[in-house]
């Protein structure tokens, strides 16, 4: 305990240096916590699950995938034709509607990206929404029921709602960009919980399909995209073996001759979407993160080296009164590690609560991910980073105290 108190006193002796070093550690730990959270989240999104496999069905040879909506019912049933065939535990369709709330001024503040689907599938098939806490789940469920009762209902992400300067209960008209000449008059019935879907919206698929039918009735011809409205179909199966069987069912089905379809695991599909961001992710993983770790080590090393040089006389006195070389080494290491662990822990834990609870995630757009949560691992990352970098940065300055000779120090004083 006396040894620990001595470490505390030594850190307090030069508060400016200790505070500046702590600030440097906290900033760098903050940045690396954000980077590791983004990379960790993407790693989880692209890793296979042992159970409850999700598969994505898309057009086989074309990007973007554009299938006729007549495929939907068969694909949602897993293309099952026999009693022994595998059927999905759950499924959902996605139709993408890109539009603007201002017909003439199309920009970030007016942009709408909506997935058109069955509202009830939000709580059973959408990642993160299928595992909400009771409070947010009940709120979203209320909005979903409003959509089911009013097919013109729309759920809007909270950041998107702020961008278009609207609130729940307002009515908006969305002018189609990909579906030209289609205008959807919607009523905002709720918002998504803060986080991943902050900039997304959800529209009832029945409303989009009915609008396309109305276009045909009014114009006397089908909309140019009438046979290309189905973008994705998601299916959920219990095991990898069941997924393989369903994949064979879909591949061998005569229903999908033109255009043909393919099915892949959700993780594989996400990996394909992220292919365009390969270089950016490699820079984050293999250049920026290691560079921050090295910088942090250098910062601590410089601070401890200066401290050791300033205290050569004091360390000589410690040796005179009986301190062993290893005890002095431990004293120097203890100061660095205590500073690193405490500052790192404060930074990562503070980042976890501030980003997740206050701003609702890291606002960093990658593919269809608009924000990322700080992972639970951040609660211990800061302390671990602080410990490792502090030890690595202070070990050489600490070992240099062995070379301090009492005679040389006091001869200079004399």
Tell me which residue range forms the domain holding 334: 2-46+277-413
Cβ burial, residue 282 (10 Å; 0-12/13-18/19+):
exposed
Q: List the one residue out of 394, 82, 71 whose CA is nearest residue 261.
A: 71
Domain assignment of residue 367, yes or no: yes
Q: Which H helix or E strand runs over 265? A: strand 261-265
Tokens 């276009």 found at: 215
One domain for residues 204 and 284? no
List pLDDT tens digits, range 197-220: 888 999 999 999 999 999 999 999
One domain for residues 251 and 316? no
Domain assignment of residue 90, yes or no: yes
DSSP state of 311: T
In 10 A of CB 21, how many CB atoms? 24
**pLDDT tens series, the chain, 414 aa:** 676 777 777 777 778 888 888 899 999 999 999 999 999 888 877 776 655 678 899 998 887 899 999 999 999 999 999 888 999 999 999 999 999 999 888 888 999 999 999 999 999 999 889 888 899 999 999 999 999 999 999 999 998 999 999 999 999 999 999 999 999 999 999 999 987 888 899 999 999 999 999 999 999 999 999 999 999 999 999 888 899 999 999 998 888 888 999 998 877 777 777 777 788 888 888 899 999 999 989 988 888 888 888 877 777 777 788 788 888 888 889 888 989 999 999 999 999 999 988 887 888 877 667 778 899 999 999 999 999 999 999 898 888 888 777 665 566 555
One domain for residues 104 and 243? yes
How far is Cα 38 from Cα 284, in angstroms, rounded to an integer?
9
How far is Cα 69 from Cα 95, in angstroms, rounded to an integer?
9
One domain for residues 303 and 381? yes
CA dihedral 230, 38, 132, 150 (to 10 degrees): -30
One domain for residues 79 and 204? yes
List pLDDT tens digits, range 162-194: 999 999 999 999 999 999 999 999 999 999 998
Is the backbone peptide bond immediately before 64 cis, with ω within 30 degrees of 0? yes
The pair of three-digit structure tokens given for residue 282, joined into one six-digit string: 């490699």
One domain for residues 292 and 250? no
Tokens 């501030």 found at: 354
Q: Decide: 378 and 37 in contact? Cβ < 8 Å.
A: yes
Task: Give the pLDDT score at 284.
Answer: 87
Q: Decide: 343 and 26 in contact? Cβ < 8 Å.
A: yes
Model confidence, pTM: 0.73
The pair of three-digit structure tokens given for residue 216, joined into one six-digit string: 């045909």
How far is Cα 31 from Cα 24, in angstroms, rounded to an integer?
11
Domain assignment of residue 111, yes or no: yes
The set of residues, in sequence order, having a beta carbon less than 8 Å from that of 238 and lying 6+ positions away, is 51, 52, 53, 89
Domain assignment of residue 55, yes or no: no
DSSP state of 193: P
Task: Give the pLDDT score at 16.
Answer: 84
In the chain, the number of structural domains is 2
Q: Decide: 64 and 385 in contact? Cβ < 8 Å.
A: no
Task: Give the pLDDT score at 220.
Answer: 94
Among residues 259, 287, 315, the one where a domain terminates is 259
Domain assignment of residue 293, yes or no: yes
């Amino acid at each position: 305990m006396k040894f620990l108190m001595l470490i505390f006193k030594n850190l307090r002796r030069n508060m400016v240096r200790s505070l500046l070093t702590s600030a440097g550690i906290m900033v760098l730990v903050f940045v690396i916590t954000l980077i590791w959270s983004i990379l960790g989240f993407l790693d989880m999104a692209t890793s296979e699950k042992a159970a409850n496999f999700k598969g994505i069905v898309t057009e086989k040879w074309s990007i973007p995938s554009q299938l006729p909506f007549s495929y939907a019912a068969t694909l949602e049933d897993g293309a099952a034709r026999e009693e022994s065939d595998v059927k999905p535990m759950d499924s959902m369709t996605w139709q993408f509607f890109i539009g603007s709330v201002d017909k003439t001024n199309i920009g970030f503040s007016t942009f709408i990206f909506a997935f058109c689907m069955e509202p009830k599938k939000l709580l059973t098939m959408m990642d993160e929404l299928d595992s909400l806490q009771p409070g947010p789940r009940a709120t979203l469920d209320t909005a979903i029921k409003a959509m089911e009762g009013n097919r013109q209902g729309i759920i809007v992400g909270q950041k998107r709602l702020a961008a278009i300067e609207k609130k729940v209960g307002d009515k908006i008209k969305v002018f189609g960009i990909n579906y030209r000449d289609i205008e959807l008059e919607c009523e905002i019935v709720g918002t998504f919980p803060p986080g991943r879907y902050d900039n997304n919206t959800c529209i009832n698929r029945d409303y989009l399909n009915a609008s396309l039918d109305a276009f045909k009735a009014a114009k006397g011809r089908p909309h140019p995209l009438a046979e290309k409205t189905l973008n994705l179909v998601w299916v959920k199966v219990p095991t990898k073996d069941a997924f393989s069987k369903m994949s064979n069912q879909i591949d061998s089905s005569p229903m999908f001759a033109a255009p043909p379809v393919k099915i892949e695991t959700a993780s594989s599909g996400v990996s394909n979407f992220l292919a365009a961001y390969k270089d950016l992710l490699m820079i984050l993983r293999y250049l920026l993160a290691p560079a921050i770790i090295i910088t942090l080590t250098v910062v601590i090393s410089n601070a401890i080296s200066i401290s050791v040089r300033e205290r050569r006389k004091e360390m000589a006195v410690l040796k005179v009164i009986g301190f062993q070389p290893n005890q002095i080494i431990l004293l120097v290491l203890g100061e660095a590690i205590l500073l690193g662990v405490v500052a790192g822990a404060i930074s990562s834990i503070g980042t976890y609560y501030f980003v997740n609870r206050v701003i609702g995630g890291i606002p960093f757009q990658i593919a269809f991910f608009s924000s990322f949560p700080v992972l639970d691992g951040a609660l211990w990352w800061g302390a671990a980073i602080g410990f490792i970098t502090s030890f690595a940065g202070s070990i050489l300055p600490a070992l240099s105290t062995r070379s301090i000779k009492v005679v040389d120090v006091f001869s200079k004083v004399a």
